[in-house]
Structure 1
Amino acid sequence: MSEIIIYGKSTCPHTKRALAAHPQARFVDILASEANLEEMLKLSGGLRRIPVIVRDGEASVGFKRGS
Structure 2
Amino acid sequence: MSQVIIYTTQHCPYCVSAKRLLSSKGVTPVEINVESSPQHLAEMLQRSKRRTVPQIFVGEVHVGGFDDLASLDHQGRLDALLHA
Q: Quick check: which one's strand share is greater? A: 1
> Could you say which residue in structure 1 is the equivalent of 2:55?
52
Tell me if the contact between 1:10 and 1:16 (Cα under 8 Å) persists in the aligned partners. no
Which structure 2 segments of 5+ residues have no match? Answer: 79-84
How far the C-alpha of 1:48 sits from its partner, in A, is 0.9
Deviation above 4 Å: which 4+ runs of structure 1?
A: none
**Percent of paired sites with the same residue:** 29
Structure-1 residue corresponding to 2:39: 35
The TM-score with structure 1 as length reference comes to 0.86
Superposition RMSD in Å: 1.4
- What is the distance in 1 between the residues matched to 2:2 and 2:63? 15
> Between Structure 1 and Structure 2, how many residues are aligned?
66
Is residue 44–residue 60 contact of structure 1 (8 Å, CA) maintained in 2? Answer: no
For residue 66 of structure 2, give the secondary structure of its aligned residue in structure 1.
Answer: coil
Q: Which has the larger radius of gyration?
A: 2
Q: Which residue of 2 aligns with 1:11?
A: 11
